[in-house]
């Protein structure tokens, strides 16, 4: 696409070294959550803090600033999607963001992350919003300082969202979320009023944990996870992290009476992992071309495999006989239709992380509306529980009995992760748009699933999404692949189809 130039090469070398440091941090984090003996936690915290300091120094150094400026000058006349232009632009973006925040603010945030988290754990345990409120106020104050440093064009929330979903804005999200909201609320109401019910109890029967693990591994491998270049372990909070070329690690947790948890959790993390395994890390470690586009696009990969693929009839046509072999007594007498209905059950509930794929988005919409109102000053910290409960009543028809099951349920606000929530629903929206296009490009896609062949879809994702790293923004990518802008229609069509099949509405 273009001829590499000396300044570009020097920049890449520097970025690669910072990328190596970051991947070491990621490995320490994985180890902390999966292997570390309890007593090793304080020392590990010190190791990670030291490494974070090194990374921060390297990412904000005058040397890096000079290298970026030189690479930008060289890339000046090039196409904006050429390697050199992409890498220079992306490095500038990260560098500006890091250097705009004063050291004291960064240190204060790091401290508040630890203390705020402790306060939140206590507050949630006692269901006491009053004891968490000062920390939410503190975070809002810190975030307002961050917003002032980073700057924004239209809405202060843009400055926060941009960290997780580069180039996305509150206005852009609002537009697409609003077109999703009213339809979803009415669909959920129709389902609640339907006389047809999904046999959810099937998922809560006894599933041997060892058999769950073997079955999950079988599915992860079948859809394309390369176990010679990755691992699946157990941790309290499931996650996936790519440490570098040939080393992608994911985790899950097993509960005997919750089949959904581990199995769809594994499919979800495998979706993230397939993206990580598809990035060109050997060649482009630490630079935009070897990294994921955004949290929303990362989430689109996990949600696609978990939901659009993993809850489809075609998928279970292949896996149901295997499930019957793995859990012969549990699934005795369960028909394919019952299983399909159980895996696609919709039921308004209070807890986001336990929500089904339809109501999940309403949980996210509520958080997005709350966060934008908090950052613009329309909503004060005193009014959070009441506003929260009102929205749950309005959108999901249910009211939390206490704040632990309401506004205190998520860890995000205690860690200053404001601007993060919308990426989950953006992931669902992008997943539906991409999948829609994949089924047009590969007409027999689902027949292939039914015979256990998931390679065509993975190949499609590799070609259209993974190989590009962050060459295109999320919005550019969806336009490039589907020819349309970010839209709620494909997700709504998909969810309407499910509602009609399972609930007859
Ligand atoms: Zn995810």
DSSP string, 273-305: HHHHHHS-HHHHTTSGGGS-S-HHHHHHHHHII
What tokens appear for 318 in the block? 């292949």
Q: Quote the CA–CA distance of 53 and 103 in Å, as a whole number.
A: 11
**Which residue among 146, 269, 276, 306 is the active-site one?**
269
- Residue 316: CB partners within 8 Å, gap ≥ 6? 323, 336, 339, 340, 343
Using the mean position of ligand 1's atoms as its centre, give its distance from the Cα of residue 455 in Å.
Answer: 21
Q: Quote the CA–CA distance of 300 and 426 in Å, as a whole number.
A: 8
State the pLDDT at residue 45.
Answer: 87
Please tell me the pTM assigned to this model: 0.96
User: How buried is residue 125: exposed, middle or buried, by Cβ count under 10 Å (0-12/13-18/19+)?
Assistant: exposed
Pairs from 98-102 (Cβ < 8 Å, separation ≥ 24): 98/56, 98/59, 98/60, 99/60, 99/65, 100/149, 100/150, 100/151, 101/146, 101/149, 101/150, 102/149
366 by DSSP, 3-state: which?
helix
Using the mean position of ligand 1's atoms as its centre, give its distance from the Cα of residue 271 in Å.
Answer: 8
Using the mean position of ligand 1's atoms as its centre, give its distance from the Cα of residue 164 in Å.
Answer: 13
Using the mean position of ligand 1's atoms as its centre, give its distance from the Cα of residue 64 in Å.
Answer: 32
Q: Domain extents for the chain? A: 6-130, 170-503
Using the mean position of ligand 1's atoms as its centre, give its distance from the Cα of residue 269 in Å.
Answer: 7
Using the mean position of ligand 1's atoms as its centre, give its distance from the Cα of residue 302 in Å.
Answer: 6
For 228, which DSSP code? G
Using the mean position of ligand 1's atoms as its centre, give its distance from the Cα of residue 294 in Å.
Answer: 12
**CATH code of the domain occupying 170-503:** 1.10.1370.30
Using the mean position of ligand 1's atoms as its centre, give its distance from the Cα of residue 442 in Å.
Answer: 26
| Strand order through the sheet with 230-234 | 230-234, 247-252, 240-244
Using the mean position of ligand 1's atoms as its centre, give its distance from the Cα of residue 310 in Å.
Answer: 15
Q: How many residues does the chain have?
A: 505
The one-digit pLDDT tens for each residue of the chain (505 residues) are 556 568 999 999 999 999 999 999 999 999 999 999 999 988 998 899 899 989 999 999 999 999 999 999 999 989 999 999 999 999 999 999 999 999 899 889 988 988 999 999 999 999 999 999 999 999 999 999 999 999 999 999 999 999 999 999 999 999 999 999 999 999 999 999 999 999 999 999 999 999 999 999 999 999 999 999 999 999 988 999 999 999 999 999 999 999 999 999 999 999 999 999 999 999 999 999 999 999 999 999 999 999 999 999 999 999 999 999 999 999 999 999 999 999 999 999 999 999 999 999 999 999 999 999 999 999 999 999 999 999 999 999 999 999 999 999 999 999 999 999 999 999 999 999 999 999 999 999 999 999 999 999 999 999 999 999 999 999 999 999 999 999 999 999 999 999 999 999 9
Using the mean position of ligand 1's atoms as its centre, give its distance from the Cα of residue 13 in Å.
Answer: 30
Examine the residue annotation and report whether 269 is marked as an active-site residue of this protein: yes
Q: Are 296 and 169 in contact (CB under 8 A)?
A: no
Residues 264-297 as b or e (16 or more Cβ within 10 Å = b): bbbbbbbbbbbbbbbbbbeebbbbbbbbbbbbbb
Using the mean position of ligand 1's atoms as its centre, give its distance from the Cα of residue 299 in Å.
Answer: 5
Using the mean position of ligand 1's atoms as its centre, give its distance from the Cα of residue 54 in Å.
Answer: 28
């Amino acid at each position: 696409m273009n001829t590499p130039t000396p300044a570009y090469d020097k920049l890449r070398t520097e970025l690669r070294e910072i990328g190596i440091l970051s991947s070491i941090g990621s490995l320490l984090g994985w180890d902390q959550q999966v292997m570390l003996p309890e007593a090793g936690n304080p020392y590990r915290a010190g190791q990670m803090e030291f490494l974070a300091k090194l990374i921060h120094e390297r990412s904000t150094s005058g040397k890096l600033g000079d290298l970026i400026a030189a690479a930008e000058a060289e890339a000046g006349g090039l196409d904006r999607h050429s390697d050199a232009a992409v890498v220079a632009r992306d490095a500038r973006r990260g560098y500006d963001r890091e250097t705009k925040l004063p050291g004291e603010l960064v240190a204060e945030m790091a401290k508040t992350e630890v203390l705020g988290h402790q306060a939140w754990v206590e507050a949630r345990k006692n269901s006491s919003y009053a004891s968490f409120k000062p920390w939410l106020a503190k975070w809002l104050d810190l975030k307002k300082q961050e917003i002032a440093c980073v700057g924004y064009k239209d809405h202060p929330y843009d400055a926060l969202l941009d960290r997780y979903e580069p180039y996305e804005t509150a206005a852009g999200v609002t537009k697409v979320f609003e077109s999703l909201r009213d339809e979803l609320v009415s669909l959920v109401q129709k389902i609640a009023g339907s006389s047809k019910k999904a046999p959810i109890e099937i998922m809560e029967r006894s599933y041997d944990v060892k058999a769950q693990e073997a079955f999950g591994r079988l599915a992860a491998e079948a859809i394309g996870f390369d176990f010679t270049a990755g691992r699946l372990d157990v941790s309290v909070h499931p996650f996936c992290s790519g440490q570098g070329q040939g080393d992608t690690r994911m985790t899950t947790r097993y509960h005997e009476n919750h089949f959904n948890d581990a199995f769809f959790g594994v499919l979800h993390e495998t979706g993230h992992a397939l993206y990580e395994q598809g990035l060109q890390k050997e060649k482009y470690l630490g630079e935009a071309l070897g990294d994921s586009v955004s949290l929303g696009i990362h989430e689109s990969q996990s949600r696609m495999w978990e939901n659009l693929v993993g809850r489809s009839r075609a998928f279970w046509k292949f896996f149901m006989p295997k499930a019957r072999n793995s859990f012969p007594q549990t699934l005795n007498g369960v028909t394919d239709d019952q299983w399909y209905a159980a895996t696609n059950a919709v039921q308004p509930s209070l807890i986001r992380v336990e929500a089904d794929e339809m109501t999940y988005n309403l949980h996210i919409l509520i958080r997005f509306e709350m966060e934008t109102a908090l950052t613009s000053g329309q909503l004060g910290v005193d009014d959070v529980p009441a506003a929260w409960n009102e929205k749950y009543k309005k959108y999901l028809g249910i009211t939390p009995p206490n704040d632990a099951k309401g506004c205190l349920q998520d860890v995000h606000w205690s860690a200053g992760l404001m601007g993060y929530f919308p990426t989950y629903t953006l992931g669902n929206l992008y997943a539906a748009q991409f999948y829609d296009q994949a089924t047009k490009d590969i007409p027999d896609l689902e027949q292939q699933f039914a015979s256990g062949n998931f390679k065509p879809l993975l190949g499609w994702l590799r070609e259209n999404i993974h190989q590009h790293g962050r060459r295109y923004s999320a919005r550019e990518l969806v336009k490039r692949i589907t020819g349309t802008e970010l839209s709620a229609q494909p997700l709504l069509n998909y969810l309407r189809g499910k509602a009609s099949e399972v609930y007859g509405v």
